Amino acid sequence: MRVLIAMMKHETNTFSPVRTDWARFGEWGRHEGTAVLDAYRGTGMPTGAYIELAEKMGAEIVTPIAAEAMPSGPVEADTYERLSAPILDAVRSGCDLALLDLHGAMVARSTSDGEGTLLERIRAIDPDLPIAVTLDLHCNLTARMVENCTALIGYKTYPHTDMYEVGKQIAEIVIGSMNGECRPVMSWGNVPLLSQTLRQGTDDEPMKSIIAMCRDAETEPGVLAATCFGGFALADMPDAGSSVIIVTDGDKALADRVRDRILARIWELREDFIYEHTPLEEAVAEAKTITDGPVILLDHADNCGSGATQDVMTAIAEVLRQGLEDVAVAAVWDPEAVREMQAAGVGATVTLRLGGRSDMPSIDETGAPLEVTGKVKVLTDGEWVVHGPMYTGVKVMMGPTAVLDTGKMQIVIVSRHHEPWDIGVFTSVGIQPEHKRYLLLKSRIHYRAGFAPIARHTMTLDGKGVTTSDNSLLEYENVRRPIFPLDRINEY
């Protein structure tokens, strides 16, 4: 058997000013040919699961490309074609099975439905090819995705700690169908709800209950897979929103019933999927009264893991203004600051205009650097391997990295965007996060993968950035209307 294994992943924030070109995929992870096997064999990724299954089958494995970029703006048209072309060429060359590790919220300048377009092109080449697809919990599911694959599934965890498991599950379903063991049919639907990412943590309500419904559904006879996608509201495209897909063994009526049951419950809980804000000054003042740490402070509006610039200094400035002590920050993106610190050398005292390198026209904000003085504590190449439960075994490349110690705050400064979901963002530069009073993280929910075990308290800081949870700051042009909460609708 000849098995095609490919990964093409990007969560597109259409409000982000960060350019998504071929080089950006190279920064985070772009591998071709046998290098894909070297990069992902034995990892906790869907691609890792695919490789393991194919090798156990004794299959000939074809790995044209595995590419992922940190979330950012729309994928450039030529980059989208360069990512797609090797996969399409491999299909033209002939294969018996395709195992695809995709995201579900890729928007390119040439198509608002990156994954659906790819799958449609594959189907045009080989209409009968068995195709298994793994998608992110933040997928904006489309008809094109569903209609052009054999079966698809999404993660049931946020932070995404079950990527390997769901990849294995959907691959086994499709392989089983090839062996005559099952006949997968899919039923899907969505509700007009722009659920906010900050309200999609699967350890919290309301998402916790919805995921429990999906897990319960998978115990019903005949149900092969049940997925709820929270969706990604920062991708301004027609199909953005919450959706459900059910895979059953030949029973479309059963799939429809399970789908409708879960969709109805999501809609009932729609108000709970919207975040309520607290003024930044109040939140920091409250944090200052907490004496036992670590206290996690989430600068969620500047989370590069959802497409932010990672150089907005609003929350950091307020923490410094109110005099919080023993703070570690991960991370500020500022390659120029890193170069200045490299030139000064470890131990030198420097004054920097830190951050604020990026303008954000979609929210009418210009870059605003913050002047800070401190000691150059550490300089590294920014490379380390994840040992925590999310992206296990994957090599992180933050680019040249530095730590600035102001006395009250240690700031990790990176040259490549990286969301701090693993404690390695600190331990790789000599900081022990469990001994800090405050950890200020530019993250939303993924931080829990590495930091939940050590956190004593967690607070959200409503700063500025293009991953804001304030819908009033965003001008939607392409999403279907009416949709909640942009429109206060009561039915769907």
State residue 29's pLDDT score. Answer: 83
DSSP 120: H
Q: 343-369 burial by CB neighbour count: b if 16+ within 10 A, else e? A: ebeeeeebebbbbbbbebebbebeeeb
Q: Which two tokens stand for residue 446?
A: 């993924």
Q: Which residues contact 289 (CB under 8 A, 6 or more apart)?
A: none
Inter-axis angle of helices 252-268 and 207-217, nearest 10? 170
Specify burial of residue 400 (Cβ count, 10 A radius: 0-12, 13-18, 19+). Answer: middle
State residue 307's pLDDT score. Answer: 98
Pairing of strands 401-405, 370-380: antiparallel
CA distance 302 to 283: 16
Q: Quick one: residue 133, left, alpha or beta (phi over 0 = left, psi -120 to 50 = alpha)?
A: beta
pLDDT digits (tens, 9 = 90+) for 190-202: 999 999 999 999 9
The distance of Cα 352 from the centroid of its chain, to the nearest Å, equals 31
Neighbouring C-beta atoms of residue 475, cutoff 10 Å: 10
Q: DSSP per residue over 418-459, as a string?
A: ----STHHHHTTT--GGG-SEEEES-SSTTHHHHTTT-SEEE
pLDDT digits (tens, 9 = 90+) for 369-412: 999 999 999 999 999 999 999 999 999 999 999 999 999 999 99
Answer yes or no: are the C-beta atoms of 68 and 10 closer than 8 Å. yes
Which stretches of the chain score pLDDT less than 70? none
Q: Which two tokens stand for residue 457?
A: 């308290």
CA distance 314 to 318: 6
Q: What are the strands of the beta sheet with 401-405, ordered from one edge?
A: 349-354, 370-380, 401-405, 409-414, 327-333, 438-441, 295-298, 457-460
State residue 53's pLDDT score. Answer: 98
Q: Where in the chain is the domain with CATH 3.40.50.2300?
A: 2-273
- Give the ranges where 235-298 is alpha helix by DSSP (H): 252-268, 280-288
| pTM assigned to the model | 0.96
Answer yes or no: are the C-beta atoms of 423 and 433 closer than 8 Å. yes
Q: DSSP per residue over 124-176, as a string?
A: HH-TT--EEEEE-TT----HHHHHTSSEEEE-S-SS---HHHHHHHHHHHHHH
State residue 491's pLDDT score. Answer: 87
CA distance 325 to 419: 23
Q: Which two tokens stand for residue 492?
A: 């769907």
CA torsion angle 17 20 26 31 (round to 10) = 140
Answer yes or no: are the C-beta atoms of 332 and 370 closer than 8 Å. no
Q: What three-state secondary structure class fits 473?
A: helix
Is the peptide bond preceding residue 206 cis, with omega within 30 degrees of 0? yes
Q: What three-state secondary structure class fits 382?
A: coil
Q: Which of 94, 24, 149, 111 is nearest to 399 (CA)?
A: 24
Which residues face 371 on adjacent strands?
353
Q: Which two tokens stand for residue 483?
A: 């949709």
Specify burial of residue 256 (Cβ count, 10 A radius: 0-12, 13-18, 19+). Answer: middle
Distances, alpha carbon 419 to alpha carbons 60, 117, 168, 288, 294, in Å: 35, 28, 26, 25, 19
State residue 471's pLDDT score. Answer: 87
Inter-axis angle of helices 46-56 and 163-178, nearest 10? 40
Superfamily of domain 2-273: Response regulator (3.40.50.2300)
State residue 492's pLDDT score. Answer: 85
